[in-house]
Copies of this chain bind each other. A is one copy, B any other.
């Protein structure tokens, strides 16, 4: 008998009919001889409705109280899904974040999981019950309700799977799995049977928004193998797991893109210790998330720094840098919006040479100019003009034969 954790998002439980579908799927998994623990989100729309009320009462509602308010969404879902299971004759019980023993730390609305005490769930499972656990929430060690922020229900599912030593953790979502590239852009993109945690992390940070990075990091840390698959059909999805030797045979696992990027380049910066820290500090204080960061000494002896960020942060970045640049007589700032980032990701890169050359040649042959380049051990990322990003994705996808399953 396997123990299967299934995560259902807000769309999957968005109406009473969909809640019945979730219950039916859980029953099917149980009837196949498994123990089943579902982690569910709030019904879609519920959280937004609660936030709207909060904002009408207070311009800047207290985060502690937002947590108390928003946690009710998942608490409603678990009761309703459990009732639907009862209606199908399944012995089931709902479990709040607190009852699941999810203890958290960090600021309100952005909790991190500190540790887990699954003893209540374990006892219920031993009694033969199917469980429905509230996603997105836990409780601080002193008993305050705490939500886990964006993607919190995925994190709950991974953590519950880890704590219960589940055999499988299924993230049921509105996509079929993880693809070699977004199939809306690259028609012959292929669903990957498996991908390593590190590749998944690079894909996520490069714009493939299947899951938040911290859920993948948590799974990697605790060795939780999980599967991203569709909540609408029974097709196998993509397994996300620790890399194994065979995986290195594939040079590039996938290609991901991120649109609406902008670049800031500042030149004429004295090549002095501490100067990079002041620049990055000013941007960090303004809460701007930088993506690519490239620094160099130009032939004039001054330093030159380039960063990319989401284009919505561009104005804020210029304002944040202004005081510092005003101090520096020779400094100049240059900005460019309307760019996008393309990343090719694969652990095979570590043992194969010529990957960058293949990628750059493919882009060149397609007549696409490369802007900035940044690399990690398992990723090569470039910026291109946003109008060419889809052509670029197709060119790189073709160049590495990603439509063909590896031998």
Q: Which residues of A contact B (CB under 8 A)?
A: 16, 19-20, 50, 53-54, 56-59, 61-62, 64-66, 68-69, 71-72, 75-76, 78-80, 82-84, 86-87, 93-94, 96, 98-99, 120, 143-145
Let me know if A50 and B65 touch, CB within 8 A: no
Q: With A16-B56, A20-B57, A68-B96 known to touch, is A62 a contact of B76 (CB < 8 Å)? A: no
Beta-carbon nearest neighbor of A81 in chain B: B57
Let me know if A68 and B75 touch, CB within 8 A: yes
CA distance A87 to B60 in the complex (A): 9
Let me know if A80 and B57 touch, CB within 8 A: yes
CA distance A96 to B50 in the complex (A): 17
Let me know if B53 and A65 touch, CB within 8 A: no
CA distance A223 to B367 in the complex (A): 86
Let me know if A80 and B54 touch, CB within 8 A: yes
Let me know if B96 and A79 touch, CB within 8 A: no
Let me know if A62 and B75 touch, CB within 8 A: no
CA distance A83 to B63 in the complex (A): 10
A-B contact pairs, 15 of them (CB 8 A): A16-B57, A20-B57, A50-B76, A57-B80, A57-B84, A58-B87, A62-B82, A64-B94, A65-B79, A65-B83, A68-B82, A69-B75, A69-B80, A71-B75, A72-B72
CA distance A93 to B83 in the complex (A): 32
A50 → chain B, closest Cβ, in Å?
7
A34 → chain B, closest Cβ, in Å?
22
CA distance A80 to B96 in the complex (A): 21
CA distance A79 to B96 in the complex (A): 18
A165 → chain B, closest Cβ, in Å?
22
A277 → chain B, closest Cβ, in Å?
37
Q: Report chain B residues within 8 Å CB of A79.
A: 54, 65-66, 68-69
Let me know if A99 and B54 touch, CB within 8 A: no
Beta-carbon nearest neighbor of A55 in chain B: B83
Q: Which of B53, B75, B86, B143 contacts A75 (CB 8 A)?
A: B75
Let me know if B83 and A57 touch, CB within 8 A: yes
A302 → chain B, closest Cβ, in Å?
50
Q: Report chain B residues within 8 Å CB of A78.
A: 68
Q: Report chain B residues within 8 Å CB of A71.
A: 75
Let me know if A75 and B72 touch, CB within 8 A: yes
CA distance A333 to B64 in the complex (A): 63
CA distance A315 to B93 in the complex (A): 37
A140 → chain B, closest Cβ, in Å?
11
CA distance A72 to B137 in the complex (A): 14
Q: Report chain B residues within 8 Å CB of A75.
A: 68-69, 71-72, 75
Q: Report chain B residues within 8 Å CB of A98.
A: 98, 143
Q: Report chain B residues within 8 Å CB of A145.
A: 96
A68 → chain B, closest Cβ, in Å?
4
A366 → chain B, closest Cβ, in Å?
53
Beta-carbon nearest neighbor of A43 in chain B: B53
Q: Which of B16, B94, B99 contacts A65 (CB 8 A)?
A: B94
Identify 5 new A-B residue pairs, CB closer than 8 A, beyond the known A62-B86, A69-B83. A57-B80, A64-B94, A66-B79, A98-B98, A120-B143
Q: Report chain B residues within 8 Å CB of A56.
A: 16
* Across the A-B interface, the 3 shortest Cβ-Cβ residue pairs: A69-B79, A72-B72, A68-B79
Beta-carbon nearest neighbor of A67 in chain B: B79
Q: Report chain B residues within 8 Å CB of A62.
A: 82-83, 86
CA distance A44 to B318 in the complex (A): 49
Q: With A72-B75, A79-B68 known to touch, is A87 a contact of B143 (CB < 8 Å)? A: no
CA distance A72 to B120 in the complex (A): 21
Let me know if B69 and A76 touch, CB within 8 A: yes
CA distance A57 to B78 in the complex (A): 13
CA distance A86 to B98 in the complex (A): 26
